[in-house]
């Protein structure tokens, strides 16, 4: 594993562990972020256009998608069980609000099963860190976005090595202890949160990557109280580049 790639064997193991988090995912996520996660989700939602087709990459059990009001949404995840859990959860909430049905698609960021220029926005929450080839995945996101449209990504923050060390302590001891109690096993699946965080790059690493791939107006900002970063980048209108 490094800041760009996760090897095949590690990614397979990571996916098995992510699947095992499903029953306790939201509970532990809320505890791990001291409830801040819902603010970050709002933050992303406020950056999505009201009109047009939106893709969420790595939708997991539907924790973000269920709260997306209105909008035409497509949710993608490589784990069939995530999609199986997410679909009734998200679509029942949306039906109650009178929103359109979400399309759920199995696939990976690195090989998006969509035509080029087919989305008005792409978002990814707490999934980018798990992509096995982040550069390839962002290249695919750029391909499927319409010119002038943007990607919004949120993942745990790492400003530099020192901040990363405190992040590691937080995940290892605060999140790890709670996960051990909730899951009632020592070898709980949340250990992979710490493992992927150790190899995750800094805010600046992925600002650079987004720019190198061809996004323009790239921004990366650590959100208060320093636990998450939000990155944004836009696909240039044709004929325009950074
Ligand atoms: C922690 S969950 C995120 C759930 C949700 N987006 C949220 O807001 O809480 C991470 C998800 O990313 C997915 N994922 C992992 N690798 C991926 C890849 N290469 N492409 C797309 N999704 C991936 C996992 O299957 C998992 O469901």
| Domain ranges, ordered by start, for the chain | 8-235
Q: Do 167 and 196 form a contact (C-beta atoms < 8 A)?
A: no
Whether 240 shows a pLDDT value over 70: the answer reads no
Fold exhibited by the domain 8-235: Rossmann fold (3.40.50)
Does the C-beta of 85 come closer than 6 Å to ligand 1? no
Does the C-beta of 156 come closer than 6 Å to ligand 1? no
CB neighbour burial string for 154-181, b if at least 16 within 10 angstroms, e if fewer: bbbbbbeeeebeebeebbeeebbebbee
Closest CA to 189 of 25, 27, 60, 74: 25
**pLDDT for the residue 126:** 96
Whether 56 shows a pLDDT value over 90: the answer reads yes
The whole-model pTM stands at 0.95
The chain-wide mean pLDDT, for the chain, equals 93
For 194-228, how does the pLDDT look when each residue is reduced to its tens digit (9 = 90+)?
888 889 999 999 999 999 999 999 999 999 888 99
Residue 8: Cβ-neighbour burial (10 angstroms; 0-12, 13-18, 19+): exposed
Does the C-beta of 14 come closer than 6 Å to ligand 1? no
For 147-187, how does the pLDDT look when each residue is reduced to its tens digit (9 = 90+)?
999 999 999 999 999 998 998 888 888 878 877 887 777 77
Q: Is residue 159 classed as helix, strand or coil in its secondary structure? A: coil
Q: Which atom of ligand 1 is nearest to the CA of 60?
A: 27
Mean pLDDT of 119-133: 97
Among 21, 36, 77, name the best residue to mutate to test ligand 1's pocket (greatest count of ligand atoms within 8 A of Cβ): 77
Among 13, 15, 22, 60, name the best residue to mutate to test ligand 1's pocket (greatest count of ligand atoms within 8 A of Cβ): 60
Does the C-beta of 77 come closer than 6 Å to ligand 1? yes
**Band of the pLDDT at 101, cuts 50, 70, 90?**
very high
> Which residue's C-alpha comes closest to atom 23 of ligand 1?
58
**Band of the pLDDT at 239, cuts 50, 70, 90?**
low
Q: Do 220 and 231 form a contact (C-beta atoms < 8 A)?
A: yes
For 16-26, how does the pLDDT look when each residue is reduced to its tens digit (9 = 90+)?
999 988 988 89
Mean pLDDT of 50-58: 96
Report how far ligand 1's centroid is from the alpha carbon of 127 (Å).
4
**pLDDT for the residue 42:** 95
Mean pLDDT of 123-129: 97
């Amino acid at each position: 594993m490094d800041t760009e790639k996760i090897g095949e064997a590690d990614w397979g193991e990571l996916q098995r562990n992510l699947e095992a988090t499903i029953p306790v995912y939201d509970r532990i996520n809320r505890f791990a972020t001291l409830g801040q996660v819902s603010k970050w989700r709002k933050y992303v939602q406020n950056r999505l256009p009201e009109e047009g087709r939106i893709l969420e990459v790595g939708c997991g059990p539907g924790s973000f998608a269920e709260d997306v009001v209105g909008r035409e949404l497509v949710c993608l995840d490589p784990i069939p069980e995530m999609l199986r859990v997410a679909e009734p959860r998200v679509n029942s909430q949306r039906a109650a609000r009178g929103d359109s049905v979400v399309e759920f698609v199995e696939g990976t960021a690195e090989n998006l099963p969509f035509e080029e220029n087919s989305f008005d926005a792409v978002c990814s929450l707490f999934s980018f860190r798990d992509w096995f080839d982040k550069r390839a995945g962002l290249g695919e996101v750029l391909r499927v976005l319409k010119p002038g449209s943007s990607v919004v990504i949120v993942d745990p923050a790492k400003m530099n090595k020192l901040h990363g060390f405190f992040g590691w302590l937080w995940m290892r001891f605060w999140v790890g202890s709670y996960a051990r109690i909730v899951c009632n096993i020592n070898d709980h699946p949340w250990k992979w949160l710490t493992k992927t965080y150790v190899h995750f790059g800094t805010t600046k690493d992925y600002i650079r990557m987004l720019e190198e791939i061809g996004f323009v107006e790239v921004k990366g900002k650590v959100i208060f109280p320093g636990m998450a970063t939000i990155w944004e980048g836009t696909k240039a209108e044709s004929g325009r580049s950074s």
